[in-house]
Structure 1
Amino acid sequence: MHVPDGFLDAPTSVATGVVAVAAVGVALRKARTELDDRTAPMAGLVAAFVFAAQMINFPVGAGTSGHLLGGALAAVLVGPWTAVLCISVVLIVQALFMADGGITALGTNITLMAVVGVAVGWLVFVALRAVLPKRLGSVPPAAAIGALLSVPAAAAVFTLLFAIGGQAPVETGKVLTAMVGWHVVIGVGEAVVTALVVGAVVAARPDLVYGARPLLAARTLEIRKAVA
């Protein structure tokens, strides 16, 4: 979903840049509440995994591409604010050193993938965690559905931005069909990857999974009550 330079007009790019800077600024403060000495290294691993996954691109059309986003995966593993930082760092490195996504479009890409992708993935996960059985086995499927929905959601927001300030000679309807259609398919793949990765970490070290902390706390409380 990397947007190239010149694909959106200057006012739209500046607006998304402001959103990106504000989101990263808030995330820098909020992430301190999500990480500790045990979980901080996980953020680096998540960023490295997302970086590798995003290097596999699928051409969508009109100069854009599609790939795994990793927002829901990162949010469930290390927390939503830390996930914003992880995805943002990945996008900055890709834009500056890999020529993947435009420099002037960096704010747009961060807004779409690090803000919208993470927010939708995390909110869907939290909503499902609240209604699914209160056990660790519910974490991977909830994360997978969050991942599935986050990808086309980010694609839909991109289409809205294109409708506002798109510079390519392509009809908005065609962009919507191509972007959302392709990203629904990509979302299925992202859901599978997210379920597998989150499931593996939950099975090995559930204490390192941010999204599993409330369930672990509830289980610990039940054990203490039973012992007492």
Structure 2
Amino acid sequence: LEPKDLLSLTRTSKTFREALTSREFVTVWKALRERLDGPACPPDFSEPQWAALIFGGTTCQCCGTKGVQQVIWTLRRRVCAGCQKRNLVIQSRFSKSYPSIDEEIMDFLPFTHARGRQVSKSKYFWPSDVHRISAQWESRKNDVRMLKPNAPEQLENYRRQRREAVSQIKQHAAICETWDVESAIQRANDNRKLSQDRLNAMEARQT
């Protein structure tokens, strides 16, 4: 049994999905991932969600395009080049794209340096991350304005936690990228071996 087999079962019916994504099955998902040396599941993902990203095929999560080999590990998304170009927001245009959002949250957001085939020193952000983190940030700022107890400390704690989270995401992404490359090499070697074994079998039958 492999993660992709469990993922296929979750798509067959609501009953299977609810059962296989329940807490009782967490250890099963984890064991299957570890057996394949898959990178650790990050804290903001469930094991089934993480398995879907790293083992669940090559479909773009936005438009459904097939054959998307690369995961943007810092954003934890598998997105085709076209959807990257349509969605990713470069930091230099952040204030124009989001005029009502505090620019400080750029320090709290996961980011990538690539958009499609374009790589630069600039940061690119994913819109849903922008809105999610902005809502959390504004909620804490509003608590300060409302003079709620401990609100300034909570605001500062959030600022520190988000910066730490971004750093941890970068470190985890580096591990995932290494695993991804090594897995691709292993698959290529396995395919070559399989082809050679078949060729040897054909030659053996002819002798």
TM-score by length of 2: 0.31
TM-score by length of 1: 0.29
The structure whose Rg is larger is 2
